[in-house]
Chains A and B, each alone.
Chain A
Amino acid sequence: MKKLLIPALLSAILAACSTTPLPEDNKGAPVESRSTGTGVAPVTADGLDASGLPRELTDPKSKLSQRSIYFDLDKYEVKDEYKDLVAAHAKYLVANRGFKVLLQGNTDERGSREYNLSLGQKRAEAVKRSLVLLGVKEDQIESVSLGEEKPKNPGHDEAAWSENRRADILYKAADGRGEF
């Protein structure tokens, strides 16, 4: 009977993973949706957003909300068009030494997964080097790679690939709250 347990267990695991879609249109009485329908945006007095980070890092109007640097195929040089963005983040990190960043390098899906992991690492490392040259301390930065494993765009064409050749900057405040 031991052998039969494996499929049974697997079925149980898969059942646990599956999600049941909610009916989109309930024909009965209107149902209140508490998750989206309150009409109230949460604001805290200290200027932090829900992730616990200062608004200037997350407000779409702030340059610091731009967190992605894009790369050419098989390349890991930070292109000139991203120098201002990197400088803005460097300036913030120099002024806020308690803040840390995690740099995640990514690649498109083509080629060896392990080679892509190293290529993503080089992209993250290139951004790190730029930040360090602009005065950010090494211990404020960790650069890691996600390789081709976490594509932002799941497509299989050049548009998707160029979006996935990327390094992202994630922030963490001194109190440990943040994006990683």
Chain B
Amino acid sequence: MNEMSRISRRIFLLLSLLTAGFAYAQLSVEITGAGANRIPVTIADFPGDPTASRVITSTVRADLERSGLFKLVDNDGLAFDENAAINYADWKGRGADALAAGSIGRSADGRMEARFRLYDTQKAVSLGGAAYVTSNTQLRAAGHRIADFIYEKLTGEKGVFSTRIAYVVKARGHFLLQIADSDGQNAATALTSTEPIISPVWSPDGGRLAYVSFEKKKPVVYVHSLASGQRHIVANFKGSNSAPGWSPDGRKLAVVLSKDGFSQLYSVNADGSGLQRITQSSGIDTEPRYSADGGTIYFTSDRGGSPQIYQIGANGGEVKRVTFEGSYNVSPRPSPDGKNLAFISRREGRFQLAVMDLASRQVQILSDSNKDESPSFAPNGRMILIATEVGGRGVLSAVSSDGRIKQRLSVAAGDVREPAWGPFYQ
């Protein structure tokens, strides 16, 4: 990234209502870097309830700006609703290629209704609009939905502002498995433990997390339903149980068990039944991830003498080696479209995020840090979330898959690690 063009700004999204005791577990977001051609867009203030309007429009603006793909053009405090006549030439003159206007009203049942419309000032046309009914406490969610709509209309790909992320915070001797909105807000703790929690992964429907907990003094794989808090053991065999990866249909998990000796890949139904062995080697096989089509599994193995990434059929069979450069390539994560593979590569003692174009086998290093771990693609494939270290403290970092845009998410006191980006809002 060009140092001169680097944009560095801090957005402290901490709301004043947060108490000091809570703030340490709240993620704050810092953005460095931006896309080359940012789309200039104006978000007008929405007439209606002024507090609700402020929450929604500031959420939309912060989302678009954080993505690195948009440049916000000041609305000069102007407010107009989705039915107002638009002076396209005026907004074009101000430098805005697109403009969103809207209003806050009340739905028939007394809840808030946010309506908006998006305009293309160049072509002088409406690009469509929507209305989201929401409770007062979910105003930010409505803002994320509007930002997703604008993002999709203007970039042609689905937005991820309404998605959630999972991660583990280690603080004061405790491990907290937390869920937050993709902007780090609304953090909630799904599980608290005095023993480590690692490797959370979202079910494809976004309702459950699989993870590894050491609460039984050894690694055991659990599946946890977030809404109910109910959880059950998927794999607790003799030895270690770890590295869950969901099949794309959400019915099965690939897991790593050492019950027959060394770490090997198995598949198991999400309820813990139907265990089947996938790999047969005398070394380490771990970190299984199904391809987007469910047909193959990428995994890490030391069968060639050093840890490298391989590929095998979802039910076993022939094994193909995927990485060849260097002596340590681990943590494979196929992109949602199946075209790329993110992984962690050790280069001259530094652990860095790398992405391989699976068709050409070209590898690009995307980070300039040296302790990257646990990559996780956003569901639209645009960004990759990783755990890394800054000043000896664990933080999360999001990097665009072309390496240009970077965001950092950290908590005030404590280590953040093991990020997992959830699926699209459903």
Contact = CB atoms under 8 A, between A and B. Distances in A.
A74 to B, nearest CB: 8
Given A113-B418, A144-B239, A119 B192 contact: no
Contacts of B138: 3
A72 interface: no
B346 interface: yes
A71 to B, nearest CB: 14
Contacts of A18: 172
Interface string A13-24: 111011000000
Given A142-B238, A180-B217, A117 B286 contact: yes
B198 A113 contact: yes
B374 to A, nearest CB: 7
A149 B19 CA distance: 30
Contact of B239 (A15, A121, A150): A121
B174 interface: yes
A118 B262 contact: yes
A11 B188 CA distance: 11
A164 interface: no
Contacts of A31: none
Interface size grouping (class) on chain A: 35 or more
A12 to B, nearest CB: 9
Interface string B383-395: 0000000001000
B261 A117 contact: no
A156 B21 contact: no
A133 B326 CA distance: 36
Secondary structure of the A contact surface, majority rule? helix
Contact of A115 (B217, B284, B392): B284
A2 B137 contact: yes
B373 A113 contact: yes
Contact of A14 (B17, B25, B212, B218): B25
Contacts of B331: 112, 114-115
A10 interface: yes
Interface string B3-26: 000000000000001110110110
B381 interface: no
Contacts of A108: none
B263 A121 contact: yes
Interface string B51-63: 0000000000000
A114 B198 CA distance: 8
A144 B189 contact: no
A143 B237 CA distance: 11
A125 interface: yes
Contacts of B202: none
Contacts of B239: 121, 142-144
Between B189, B199, B284, B346, the greatest number of chain A beta carbons within 10 A of the residue's beta carbon is seen for B284
Contact of A117 (B186, B240, B285): B240
B343 to A, nearest CB: 9
B214 A149 contact: yes
Contacts of B218: 104, 144-146
Contacts of A7: 17-19, 22
A14 B21 contact: yes
B373 A112 contact: yes
Interface in B206-239: 212, 214, 217-219, 238-239
A39 interface: no
A118 to B, nearest CB: 4
Contacts of B187: 6, 10
Given A114-B256, A118-B286, 16 more contacts: A3-B138, A4-B137, A7-B17, A7-B22, A14-B21, A14-B25, A14-B172, A113-B373, A115-B286, A115-B287, A117-B240, A118-B256, A120-B240, A143-B239, A147-B219, A149-B198
Q: Which 4 A-B pairs have the closest CB atoms?
A: A118-B263, A149-B196, A3-B137, A144-B218
15 contacts: A2-B137, A4-B137, A11-B21, A14-B22, A14-B25, A110-B371, A111-B328, A112-B330, A113-B198, A115-B331, A117-B263, A143-B258, A144-B219, A145-B258, A149-B196
Interface of B: 17-19, 21-22, 24-25, 137-138, 172-174, 186-189, 192, 196, 198-199, 212, 214, 217-219, 238-240, 242-243, 256, 258, 261-263, 284-287, 300, 307, 328, 330-331, 344, 346, 351, 371, 373-374, 392, 418
